[in-house]
Amino acid sequence: MQNFSDLLAITKHGDLIRKILAAVLFALSCQVALANELQGRIVGVSDGDTITVLDAKNQQHKVRLAGIDAPEKSQAFGQASKKQLSELVFGKAVVVEWQKLDRYGRVVGKVLLDGFDVCLEQIRKGMAWHYKKYAGDQSAGDRQTYAAIEAEAREARLGLWIDESPEPPWDYRHRGRSK
């Protein structure tokens, strides 16, 4: 016997084994797709899309708000975005639904305050963009809602949308790296 497929070929129950393996793999993939949950109190706001959550074990977790990108602190509306987020969540208990860590080791998650979507509120107030580059990480419903709320904020010229053509933070960061 050279490999697993040879074993399946000679096993009279190969079809049954394949079905069982398929079911196990499907169940495992469903487990991976489920969001993890982090609960805690906000003890820091770094900018308009990054917070620090202190959990029940007194461990701090840096959290990048999923689905949005806020202006950098040195960018127009950067300080206003940070202030808006701080006023909304600082010192309060939140639940973070997350599925991954970013390249900096931060939890990337949807932040809920009493069931209220904090990420979406940053967009609604004109303090962040819907981060379409990572929209594939969102549910279809969140993708549609975030895009629609961004369009409404843009139309109403709220926050950063008061400028004719605000520079997205991803362009600002890229421009800074290319200097």
Catalytic residues: 64, 72, 106
What DSSP letter does each residue of the chain carry, written as one string? --SHHHHHHH-TTHHHHHHHHHHHHHHHHHHHHSPEEEEEEEEEEEETTEEEEE-TTS-EEEEEETTEEPPPTTSTTHHHHHHHHHHHHTT-EEEEEEEEE-TTS-EEEEEEETTEEHHHHHHHTTSSEE-GGGGGGS-HHHHHHHHHHHHHHHHHT-GGGGSSSPPPHHHHHHHHHT-
How many CB atoms are closer than 10 A to CB 91? 8
